[in-house]
């Protein structure tokens, strides 16, 4: 099975760091999904197909620069979604 480790890292930082320190204009599931999608579209994908690859990439996720890049993209996405939420 192939999956994108960046997605896991972004979701983890979003729920376990970003949301704890940032109040969103709207906290609904659609806005949260839009923030995640927008941030992921601006970050490089890191695909793995084995446990070894996953461990290697997850170890890289402790890199402060990578965490900073993810948080920056989450912040930019939250600003954009907050300005123009896609509510029905």
Task: Decide if 29 is inside a domain.
Answer: yes
Residue with tokens 């760091």: 17
| Residue 44 domain flag | yes
Instruction: Tell me how many domains the chain contains.
Output: 1
Is 71 a member of any domain? yes
Structural domain includes residue 41 = yes
pLDDT tens per residue across all 88 residues of the chain: 888 889 989 999 999 889 888 889 999 999 999 999 999 999 999 888 877 777 777 777 788 898 999 999 999 999 999 999 987 5
- Domain presence at residue 54: yes
Domain assignment of residue 24, given as a range: 3-83
Q: What is the dihedral of CA 78, 3, 42, 34, to 10 degrees?
A: -30
Which of 76, 85, 84, 66 lies closest to 10 in space, CA to CA? Answer: 66
pTM comes to 0.86
Residue 43 lies in a domain: yes
Does 88 reside within a domain? Answer: no
9 found inside a domain: yes
């Amino acid at each position: 099975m192939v999956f994108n480790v960046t997605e896991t890292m972004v979701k983890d930082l979003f729920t376990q760091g970003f949301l704890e320190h940032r109040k969103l204009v709207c906290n609904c599931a659609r806005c949260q999904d839009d923030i995640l999608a927008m941030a992921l579209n601006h970050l490089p994908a890191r695909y793995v197909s084995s446990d070894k690859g996953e461990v290697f990439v997850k170890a890289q996720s402790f890199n402060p620069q990578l965490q900073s890049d993810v948080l920056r993209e989450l912040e930019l996405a939250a600003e954009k979604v907050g300005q123009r939420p896609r509510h029905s």
